[in-house]
Amino acid sequence: MSAESLSLIAGTVLSLIFSYVPGAKGWYLQFNGQAKRLIMLTLISLSAGIVFGLSCLGWGSEFGITLSCDQAGLFGLVRQVVLAIIANQGIYAISPHTTPKPKIQSEGSNPPAASSGSKI
């Protein structure tokens, strides 16, 4: 698997998890747009760091990762992070976003309205 494919898949999977998995989706919905983007950036960067670490330990080839553990490999990894972010934000933009609907009170459960007139 190429590094480009791995980056695109990682970005897509993260986005789909936070769009469809109930526990993750509920947790993720509580944040504003900027916080959501920072969370995704952090997770993608963390996964890129793990991939680079595996390559530097010599275990990357076991997983089909052909990233070298040098300056050229690091620059290649930065390009892959950008691809993953693009995939992540693109998929998130087209996936459904629903917010919980407010509960509708039945007629019998409404509290009595306060009277606007004064008592004499």
Domain extent listing, the chain: 3-95
Mean pLDDT (whole number) for 12-18: 84
C-alpha–C-alpha distance, residues 58 and 94, integer Å = 37
Q: Is the dihedral of CA 91, 92, 98, 100 positive or negative?
A: positive
Average pLDDT over the chain reads 75
Q: What's the confidence (pLDDT) of residue 101?
A: 55
Q: What's the confidence (pLDDT) of residue 5?
A: 72
Predicted TM-score (pTM) of this structure: 0.63
Is pLDDT above 80 for 7? Answer: no
Q: What's the confidence (pLDDT) of residue 116?
A: 55
C-alpha–C-alpha distance, residues 49 and 51, integer Å = 5
Is pLDDT above 70 for 115? Answer: no
